[in-house]
Amino acid sequence: MQSVPATVPLQRWEDLPGPRPWPVVGNALQVERDRMHKQLEGWAARYGRPFKFRIASRRFLVISDPDTIAKVLRDRPDGFKRPSRVERISREFGFLGLFSANGETWKRQRPMVLGSFDPTHIKAFFPTLAGVTGRLARRWTRAAQSGATIDLQADLMRYTVDVTAALAFGEDINTLESNEDVIQVHLNHVLPALVRRSLAPFDTWKYFPTREDRQLQQHLKAIHASVQSFIAGTRRKLEEQPQLREKPVNLIQAMIAARDRETGGLRDEDVSGNVLTMLLAGEDTTANTLAWLIWLLHRHPDALQRAAAEARSVLGGAVCPAGPEQLWRLDWIEACANEAMRLKPVAPLIFNEALRATLVEGVRVERGDIVVCLMRAGSLQETNFAQAQAFRPERWLAGEGAAAHSLASAKRVVMPFGAGPRMCPGRYLALAEIKMAAAMLLANFELQSVATPGVDEPREEIALTMYPVGLQMRLALPAAASM
């Protein structure tokens, strides 16, 4: 990004094309919140790139060029930040964690969270990850034996919440083997509410709360009770094992130990905010990526057959990978995951608020303006990928897809975890979970069907992440299978 030179003629935001705004509210009533990513992609095709829209007094510039997007994302936190409205509403909800925080709050939280999700920590966590994956395998075995239809997203969200709680909090909440959805029921109301309020033209819920607003408060109350339970349990463990204050084994221990040290710089809200943020982020993003991956594999039998053969060869009869070295050998499954993230990115929109006047694609952006990055647009352009609309995992393997598109260039265009200092800290865990669950599924089951009943392709909807609506899965056990 550039500071604005006084002598350079600039393209004004006011002169850009875009949907015609209404008086006072701007384009707020035209925005389809649950399909906003598709709507903005459609507007980009209609109005060109970049284009503009407005919600009340807030100005939005929408960009699609991967190089420009990368520059914006790498200019965080100094040139751009999370939108102030997202930060404020997250604070009101009580989960101002690393995802939504800005400034000094973000800076003091970042080292602790990054340390908890680095590759070394993930490697040490592997036995627990394998244990949770084994539970998912047993759950799906029972479904296959009984011929039951599986609610794919719900099961994958149980899986990812269990993994996140175990890694970040040392808690075995075991929703996979429980008949209750207590945490998920409450969590599933928070992200849609955050998006709804972030895009609202006015804070009407403060003065005219709806039934939905009142129910949200009950969901937040229940979630915070669970979070405080995690924190209280960790404090008891630190009292029983004081050596953990110097050598914590998970995120919540590290944050509480830092909070209790006068020089730690952390506050109570940092701890509780990141506990809740990890639950929310750990549930949606990985579960939705896995759901899209499984659906795409079922739609492409050749890719599915190759992935299943790879999984069975690497696992050698085991239910799931026994160690990180086996995950590293799942090259084709990883390529399939990368291709799924290219075609169906669960974060298709990234909103960034300008901290200073700057130039973005020759457009003057003022302090406080929002730059919206359309993350999928470049991935679907033939200039970037041959047969861009097709599911071709081989493009991610050196020696197979390199002739169509180089790996280095592909990685510059496709940014499923963002870029720059605010790149997703959980990316190593996410990829490990995706490969782990996919290998377990493909090595031990046959996919009979993966579909949303009554439609050819599941509808894309977005809360904070993009997900397939209504995916159901039916599995069968191979003749010689046993678990």
Which CATH fold topology does 13-476 show?
Answer: Cytochrome p450 (1.10.630)
Distance CA 135, CA 123 (A): 19
Tokens of 333: 């499954």
Q: Look at residues 340, 245, 225 and name the one whose alpha carbon lies nearest to residue 285.
A: 340
Bridge partner residues of 451 (DSSP): 472
Q: How confident is the model at residue 182 (pLDDT cuts 50, 70, 90)?
A: low
The reported pLDDT for the residue numbered 483 is 46
Structure tokens, 164: 């996140």
Report which DSSP code applies to 99: T
Distance CA 184, CA 280 (A): 9
pLDDT value for 284: 85
Average pLDDT along the chain: 90
Mean pLDDT score, 59-66? 97
Tens digit of each residue's pLDDT (9 = 90 or more) over 320-365: 999 999 999 999 999 999 999 999 999 999 999 999 999 999 999 9
Please give the share of the chain, as a percent, with pLDDT higher than 70: 94
279 versus 35: the higher-pLDDT residue is: 35
Query: What's the number of CA atoms in the CB half-sphere (13 Å) around residue 200?
Result: 14
Any residues with CB less than 8 A from the CB of 266 and at least 6 apart, and which? 108, 109, 112, 255, 258, 259
Distance CA 421, CA 77 (A): 7
Res. 481: pLDDT tops 80: no
- Reply yes or no on whether the pLDDT at 401 is more than 70: no
Q: What is the pLDDT of residue 404?
A: 45
Distances from the Cα of 47 to the Cαs of 39, 44, 180, in angstroms? 12, 5, 47
Domain ranges of the chain: 13-476
Could you count the other beta carbons within 10 Å of the beta carbon of residue 262?
5
If you average pLDDT over residues 136-161, what whole number do you get? Answer: 96
Pairwise pLDDT comparison (244 vs 311), residue with the higher score: 311
Q: Which of 107-116, 399-408, 429-438 shows the lowest per-residue confidence on average (mean pLDDT)?
A: 399-408
How many secondary structure helices (H) and strands (E) does the chain include? 16, 12
Position 14, amino acid: E
What is the pTM (predicted TM-score) of this model?
A: 0.92
Query: DSSP of 332-384, one letter per residue?
Result: HHHHHHHHHHHHS-S--EEEEEESS-EEETTEEE-TT-EEEEESSGGGG-TTT
N-to-C CA span, the chain: 55
Please tell me the predicted confidence (pLDDT) of residue 405. Answer: 47
Confidence at residue 448, expressed as pLDDT on a 0 to 100 scale: 97
For the chain, how big is the Rg over CA atoms in Å? Answer: 23
pLDDT given for residue 305 in this prediction: 98
* Mean pLDDT lowest among 6-15, 90-99, 103-112, 300-309: 6-15
- 392 near 37, Cβ under 8 Å? no
List Cβ<8 Å contacts ≥24 apart for 144-147: 144/445, 144/475, 144/476, 144/477, 145/477, 147/474
- Band (442; pLDDT cuts 50, 70, 90): very high
pLDDT > 90 in the chain, percent: 68
pLDDT band at 6 (very low <50, low <70, confident <90, very high): very low
| Amino acid 217: pLDDT | 94
Mean pLDDT of 431-456: 97
User: Does residue 421 or residue 5 have the better pLDDT?
Assistant: 421
Mean pLDDT within 285-314: 97
- As given in the structure block, the two tokens for residue 114 are 């990054």
Structure confidence by residue, pLDDT tens digits, 216-235: 999 999 888 888 888 899 99
Sign of CA dihedral 229, 234, 235, 239: positive
